[in-house]
Amino acid sequence: MSKQVQVHAALFLVALIYGSNYSIAKEVMPAYVGPFGLIVIRVVSAALFFGIFARFVTKEKIVGRADNIRVILCGVTGVAVNQLCFFGGLNLTAPINAALLMVIVPVVVLIFSAMLLRERIGQRKITGIALACLGAFLLIYTSRGEQASGNLWGDLLIILNATSFGLYLVLVKPLMQRYQAITIVSRIFSVGAVFVIPFGMQQVMAPAYSSFPTSIWLAILFMVIAVTILAYLLNTWALRYANPSLVGAYIYLQPVMAIVIAIALGKDTFTMQKGLYALLIFAGVYLVSQTKQHALKQA
């Protein structure tokens, strides 16, 4: 199997896992565990796993002040802020709203690439950014009111989450050229754990875990093993061979999978209005993505 096929397979699996997570997480929170408590369970479990695993796989260390500062920033943006905002937002808003708003990640990647990597933004890219932002704004605006399935503050937290994740994809790319994926992931989760514990420790201690049904334990295990450990490891590995924009582009698959799963499980409904706003977001992201060829780095 060629490296290109492996990268696309890894990114597709990540999109499938994340697409499932929108509905599965809603089963657990807030009825059984609060959103921040769930984050502490996920991040601390992943930090312990990756920390132990890294010791057996490699003795590699992050060297240099600049790389260590970048790792801390990746831990803050890619784990702490990203997870706190995502689960805080998903706890409030509808799964379909969250999935659709996450599609703006490639746009965020482009903006931060222009700011940090000096990538040029042309007229088509500006038009694409404007369309995606308009679609996101309309989706958020119509989330107000008792009849809306979404939630204004929940949608805004998802936007902040997407912004943080987009920045993380740009920040982590240079590190992936110099270190192994497991080295980077173990360090960023260690940093992330330090930041999320103060936010969620109280919610971790509150539930009566002995009363949890088997289905809830399976959902928590899925979020720890698949959504946190496997997805982050695959995503970070793919960044070694792929452009950050290509990794961000696989966000497109998430709403499709999330919509199908959410409707199948009866967790949300897909309306024509949401469909129109989604088209604006997709059209904007398409214009942004088509302005540059995102070739894979040859292994």
Q: What are the pLDDT digits (tens) for 134-162?
A: 776 776 666 554 444 557 788 889 889 98
Q: Residue 93 and residue 252: Cα distance in Å, rounded?
A: 19
Q: Residue 11 and residue 215: Cα distance in Å, rounded?
A: 27
Mean pLDDT across 185-196: 93
* Chain segment 57-66, per-residue pLDDT in tens: 888 889 899 9
* Chain segment 242-254, per-residue pLDDT in tens: 766 666 667 666 7
How far is C-alpha 87 from the chain's CA centre? 10
Greater confidence, 45 or 166?
A: 45
Q: What is the pTM of this model?
A: 0.73
Question: What is the pLDDT, as a whole number, of residue 148?
Answer: 47
Nearest to 97 by CA among 202, 31, 22: 22
In the structure encoding, which two tokens stand for residue 255, read together? 């709403």
pLDDT at 186 over 80: yes
Best-predicted range by mean pLDDT among 5-14, 77-86, 150-159, 261-270? 77-86
pLDDT band at 298 (very low <50, low <70, confident <90, very high): very low
pLDDT at 279 over 50: yes
Q: Residue 234 and residue 10: Cα distance in Å, rounded?
A: 6
Provide CB contacts within 8 A for 29, sequence distance 6+. 35, 38, 87, 90, 91
Mean pLDDT across 272-279: 76
C-alpha torsion sign, points 26, 154, 87, 210: negative
pLDDT at 69 over 90: yes
Greater confidence, 75 or 135?
A: 75
pLDDT at 235 over 70: yes
